[in-house]
Chain A
Amino acid sequence: MDIFATNFTALDWWIVAVYLCAIGALGVWVNRYIHSVADYLVAGRSAGPALNVATFVATGLCLVTIMYSAIDGFNRGFAYMILGVIGMAIGLFIGSTGFVVRKLRAARLTTLPEYFQLRYSRRVRVTAGVICALAGILNMGLFPKMGATFITYATGLGSAGAARAVVEAHAPGKAPVTKTRDPVQGARMAEEHMAHQRATLARQELTVNIVMTIILVIVLVYTVTGGMVAVIVTDYTQFVLLALGLGLGVFYCLTRPELGWDKIVGSWGKYRGEAAFNPLHVGSYGVFWVAWMLVHFAAAALCWAPEASRTLTARDPETARRTFLYGSPGQFIRLAIPALFGIAAFCFISQNPELARYFFPEGLRGKGVHADQAAPLLLGKIIPAGLLGVVLAGMVSALMSTHDSYFMCWASVIARDVIVPLRRRELTDKEQIRITRIVIVSIGIFLLVWGVWYKLPDSVWNYMAVTGSVYLCGAIVILIGGMYWKRASSAGALAGLLGGLASVPIVFLPDWFTGSTVLMGQCGLANYALCALLFIVFSWLFPDKQPAAAPAEAQP
């Protein structure tokens, strides 16, 4: 039996291919509705509440979200779901109070750094734009690789002789393919075996890269031509398909005879004990990490450009508030359901000795390896052919809906908050759209070159959180400070923003550091505190000569 074989068939490939073509064509078709830069960048600021909620959830629910949640679910169990609870609680808080988002929408902005120019100065806007784009593109760099891994193992592309050889190599006390007494011949056979294994893996990698290139090209085509209108319309269709895919995954995880809630809970309780359920437990994430995530999620909801742009695309301030309120269950679903796939994968693997040997060479109580392959493999094995195509189309939707939103956000930030303010003359709408399109294509090329061939770190979520911190730590401090503290100054805002760069070196630290939730939690919290301190101290020491007027609260 090939342990990497899945139920994916030609019919499933057809389902995915038809979906991809349809979504690409739809994106190109909506280009006829683009008449101004506001239409292109924020869909004319006319998205209704239901549509805004759909795109808000679809943007947050990327394939990379599914992957890092499934990885942490597989490694840490139910404790990871605390992130879903935090996300939902923050959504409910912002949605019920309108904290920050109402004021932002009322200011009729196109990007968040624009607010920084209105409240502070042009220099703060450009600095925020540069740091925001740097953090965002760095953060996005892992997306193609994670997407490729999912597609590989859910479709059975990972199924090959090489995979079996890897399992055999992991088996304790089992020498691979040297069934001869002649040492020279044995060495040659082992060498041939290794060469065959390398060639197979290279073929798999090439296939994955081709698939990823096709997806990226489709996303680029409809994002470049249709702008935010295309992003919103395709996000809506992707939201529907994505929900269907997740629903099918949950259904099969909870109804398959070898899985089900009681068996899943029982297997985690048996092998991992309380640490699998209690996120504050010493053997789990710990208090510091959970506190860091609480702050981080609040900052991301308000300042992370792809999510924040949903505030700006809303029809009016009330719609912006309701987007967060109604979208809050989506915050739980986007993190908890993929984690449930990883959690169920652990239970599934614990019942299969061959799989258990591959994923847990030190035993089921020890550290797991290849965690990124577990959840997609599980879905590929428990969902029947035909439906698997729908699920994969949903997952590819997740990949595309986040890619398009991220492309639009980072490109519009670079174009409007870095390039335009640095030019001496005002640019026409057509020039701004052309620059945005060029930047989108440039980011796409960067992702193809860097992202697809980048080596994944051990803890993908921590990498994502740290790259996000580069911008979020400073941005959230100066955003809230700018709105609710009259003494906030441009010097304080610049110092606060630059303080976020303290997170950059963490990206390059080895896995023993970035994989430690205690150290990461402490560093993460310390960086937010540093930015707040710099902001307050510099604002007191260097107040603005002429206090900036609060951004006009224009009518929607």
Chain B
Amino acid sequence: MIGWITFWKWACIVGIGSFTLLLLSVIPFGAADIVKLFKHLKAGGDRASETDETR
């Protein structure tokens, strides 16, 4: 039982620790990705409207 208790303690430390690192990187980079996503979608929209006008 002692072995399992130690295992769960380290699993929690590793899991929470790695998730914290993930958070610290995903929050700023995710915001940058949103800006890129909107730019990409806007560019796609502009291309679509240009095609409509050509037709």
Contact = CB atoms under 8 A, between A and B. Distances in A.
Interface in B22-42: 22-23, 25-34, 36-38, 40-42
Given A36-B48, A51-B37, A332-B19, A81 B8 contact: yes
A330 B22 contact: yes
Contacts of A329: 15, 18-19, 21-22
A34 B21 CA distance: 33
Interface stretch (A175-183, A217-225, A233-241, A410-418): A233-241
Contact size range, A: 35 or more
Contacts, number: 112
A50 interface: yes
A50 B11 contact: no
A48 B41 contact: no
Nearest to A33: B41
B22 A44 contact: no
B45 A35 contact: yes
Interface stretch (A98-106, A123-131, A269-277, A362-370): A269-277
A35 B38 CA distance: 12
Contacts of A337: 16
B33 A44 contact: no
B1 A269 contact: yes
Nearest to B45: A35
Contact size range, B: 20 to 34
A51 B41 contact: no
A236 B30 contact: yes
A49 interface: yes
Nearest to A48: B33
A254 to B, nearest CB: 9
B41 A46 contact: yes
Nearest to A246: B19
A327 B29 CA distance: 14
A261 interface: yes
A395 interface: no
Interface in A78-114: 78, 81, 84-85, 88
29 contacts: A33-B38, A35-B41, A35-B45, A36-B44, A39-B44, A44-B37, A44-B44, A46-B36, A46-B37, A48-B32, A48-B33, A50-B28, A50-B33, A51-B37, A78-B5, A78-B8, A81-B8, A232-B34, A236-B30, A274-B4, A277-B8, A278-B4, A329-B15, A330-B19, A330-B22, A332-B15, A332-B18, A336-B15, A340-B12
Interface of A: 30, 33-36, 39, 43-44, 46-54, 78, 81, 84-85, 88, 229, 232-233, 236, 239-240, 243, 250, 261, 265, 269, 273-274, 277-278, 326-327, 329-330, 332-333, 336-337, 340
